Chains A and B, each alone.
Chain A
Amino acid sequence: MKEVIFYLLIIGAGTGGELCVSRAMKAVGEVKDFRPAALLGVASRALRVPWMWVGLSLMGTAFFALLAVLSIENVSLVVPVTALSYAGGALGGRFFLGEQVTRRRWTGVLLVCVGVALVIIGRR
């Protein structure tokens, strides 16, 4: 039961955090200059976007839940289980970020999810 709560936190807070960070980075705009000073400027601009702070907080929560479950289960099980966030990620990308998720991309996401399911079933 404890593991389930940790997995839910990893998936829910992790996906939510990534969506918020993605939204913040879209607001910052495309990074074209990769010199250190320019990247520091990008980081500074990103940290002024409120969505970034929401995202970082959620991702921090997911990180500590990941640490907790890694003390109990094997990495080769834990990490694939966290990929259950793919369905939520695609839905979030479509409805939260307004991205066009094509049928082909949905097919890829579906295949990834089937693979993840087999990884879980293949638990010894």
Chain B
Amino acid sequence: MRSSGGLHFKTYLLIFMMVIFGPLGNVLLGKGMKRIGTASMGTPAEAFNLLSRVLSSGTIWLGIGSLITFFAAYMLVLSWADYSYVQPASSVAYGMVALLAHFMLREVVTPLRWLGVLIICLGVLVVGHTPPRTTEPSQ
């Protein structure tokens, strides 16, 4: 198992990108879908109509672009770091989602929900003190 500074640096850099672009993508998708509103998908025509409205929304496409950036960083980091390390470490993104939802979408986040976010961040801190790889790299 390698635990050099370089391995940790690129791991943290890509996780940082995940923390920024993942939540931003979700918030943009939420904003776009709220504009489109709930719609019936009972018939193929209704489903097609909804899909065309989704695909013609600039906000949705910005969200998709952010999520693609997130996904690229995610795949790269998974090429050397454990899934069970990366997934919890990226959970600080939940705090970012709450912040962005509060400030960008004016969603009300209750004190109990903020406490939950704080505990999530504490969990991330604990996970961050474990080695990023426990399996042998493939050749």
- Is B8 part of the contact surface with A, judged by Cβ < 8 Å? no
Contact of A30 among B100, B111, B120, B137 (CB under 8 A): B137
* A105-B119 contact in complex given A67-B33, A75-B107, A99-B135, C-beta closer than 8 Å: no
Summarize A's interface: helix, strand, loop or mixed: helix
Whole-angstrom distance between the alpha carbons of A94 and B137 in the complex? 16
Q: Taking A109-B123, A111-B126 as contacts, is the C-beta distance between A76 and B116 under 8 angstroms?
A: no
Interface residues on A, range: 35 or more
Q: Which 3 A-B pairs have the closest CB atoms?
A: A93-B84, A111-B123, A118-B116
| 11 extra interface residue pairs, beta carbon distance < 8 Å, beyond A46-B75, A104-B126 | A19-B83, A26-B138, A29-B137, A75-B26, A80-B94, A93-B82, A104-B130, A105-B88, A111-B119, A112-B124, A119-B113
A residues in contact with B36, CB < 8 Å: 71
**Contact residues of B with A, CB < 8 Å?**
23, 26-27, 29-30, 33-34, 36-39, 54, 60, 67, 75-76, 78-80, 82-85, 87-88, 91, 93-94, 97-98, 100-102, 105, 107-130, 134-135, 137-139
